[in-house]
Amino acid sequence: MRKPLAPHVFLLRNLSRTLPMVVVIALAVLLVAGIVALVNSVPLSVRSIYGYSKAFAAALPRNDPAYLPEMERELEESPVPIERVLRIRVAFFNVRSIVGKLPFVLHGISPEDGAFLRERLDLGQLTGRLPSPGAPEAVITRRLATNLGVNIGDVLLSPADQQNYSPQVVRVVGIHEGDLWFAYGDFDYVARNHLPPVDDLIIVAKDQRAFDRWAVEHFRGSRARILTHEELLRETDDSLRVLLQLLSVVIGLLVVVVTVMIGLFINIYLGQRLTEFGLLQAIGYTRSFLTRRASAEAALLVGLGWVLGVLLSLAVLWAAKVTLMDPKAYYLEPLDRVALAYTLPLPLSVLAASLLTIRLRFRKFDPVVVIERRVA
């Protein structure tokens, strides 16, 4: 041991003092990262569940089927080239998410449009078969099947199910292996059995984002409702804004509590080490050396706590993802950069408080007072 005064020596040889502080910081980091990652899993789920909306926009006439031909004419005027406009009908059922059940669309699509959409959405290899014309049958994707816990031959909608209602039992006849969430059935069956009795339009454009922006602006104030991916994201963010603001307050309070606590600990421990500091200054170490050494110890402790907290968070969130979320196709990102960013104020403020405490302690430190044993 050539450098007995190196900062890590104190930390490693005084684990009964330093480990609790490291653990407190690590647990606080875990708490913050965990909460933020869980909250972020909500928009992540929404974006994933409704991710198919990136591929097309939907246009719905508001309670006026007669408006549909006019909508189609106006769509032809789009400055953004349109690849295809599909007429569909919709039925609804629920999927499970971390915040409860969310409505999901069973798209009623004609066989010709179905072939186009499968290719456009890249739904992946199909196990089973396509729905027969007019039959109460559905094809879903693997993620959706995992989420609902269904397989080929299982019931998706039924007359007995209030939330996933259809006048006839609709069974799953095929599953696409892709990651996208999507469900479709035969146009005729959905049109005959589900409300509203109005066709909706799906518009697939060459440049979907540009088309979506144009369509939203163009149909603003009209009798058409335009649904786009961007609008979905905006609505999700809006609905979570208050929650995130409240979360920031909670995290801010946590940071203050942990900062005060660690600051007090460090102050107490510095007080207990006055003899050591007095001795070192008496035998020739400068006040600035002692300040630097204590600061380096604090920085090491805080850094260690944060790194441990981040690793702990990754481990816990990964375990939660694998054991709790994945089996239900729920979304959770263990390496959530936003969650990690939220943890940064914690070590930074703790370090700032520690450095301030150290600076105040050493500002007028007199080794003779210590050597003469005039301090406790």
Q: Which residues bind other proteins (CB under 8 A)?
A: 1-2, 4-5, 9-10, 13-14, 275-276, 278-289, 367-368, 371-373
Write down the least CB distance from residue 375 to other proteins, Å. Answer: 13
CA dihedral 86, 89, 95, 99 (to 10 degrees): 80
Closer residue to other proteins in complex, CB, 10/93: 10
Supply 76's token pair.
């032809």
Residue 302 beta carbon to other proteins: minimum distance, rounded to whole angstroms: 20
For the bound state, the minimum distance from the C-beta of residue 292 to other proteins, rounded and expressed in Å, comes to: 13
User: Which of 307, 304, 294 is closest to 356 using CA atoms?
Assistant: 294
For the chain, give the secondary structure using H, E and C: CCCCCCHHHHHHHCHHHHHHHHHHHHHHHHHHHHHHHHHHHHHHHHHHHCHHHHCCEEEEECCCCCHHHHHHHHHHCCCCCEEEEEEEEEEEEEEEECCEEEEEEEEEECHHHHHHHHHHHCCCCEEECCCCCCCCEEEEEHHHHHHHCCCCCCEEEECCCCCCECCCCEEEEEEECCCCCCEEEEHHHHHHHCCCCCCEEEEEECCHHHHHHHHHHHCCCCCEEEECHHHHHHHHHHHHHHHHHHHHHHHHHHHHHHHHHHHHHHHHHHHHCHHHHHHHHHCCCCHHHHHHHHHHHHHHHHHHHHHHHHHHHHHHHHHHHHHHHHHHCCCCCCCCHHHHHHHCHHHHHHHHHHHHHHHHHHHCCCHHHHHCCCCC
Q: 162 or 288: whose CB is closer to other proteins?
A: 288
Q: How far is the CB of 294 from other proteins (least distance, A)?
A: 14
Rank residues 195 and 283 by Cβ distance to other proteins and give the closer one: 283
Q: Which is nearer to other proteins, 250 or 368 (CB)?
A: 368
Smallest distance, other proteins to C-beta of residue 372, A = 7
CB 275 to other proteins: min, Å: 6
Give 5 or 324: the residue with its C-beta nearer to other proteins: 5
What minimum distance in Å lies between the beta carbon of 14 and other proteins? 6
Residue 333's φ and ψ, nearest 5 degrees, are -105, 105
C-alpha 262/C-alpha 182 separation (Å) is 50
Residue number with CB closer to other proteins (11 or 191): 11
Residue number, 67 or 365, with CB nearest to other proteins:
365
In the bound complex, what is the minimum distance in angstroms from residue 286's beta carbon to other proteins? 4
Q: What CA–CA distance (Å, rounded) separates 337 from 37?
A: 9
- Give the shortest CB-9-to-other proteins separation in angstroms: 7
* Smaller CB separation from other proteins, 114 or 367: 367
| Pick 100 or 284: Cβ nearer other proteins | 284
Cβ-based nearer residue to other proteins, 16 or 162: 16
Distance between CA atoms of residues 221 and 347, nearest Å: 50
CA 256, 261, 264 angle in degrees (round to 5)? Answer: 125
Quote the least distance from Cβ 307 to other proteins, whole Å. 23
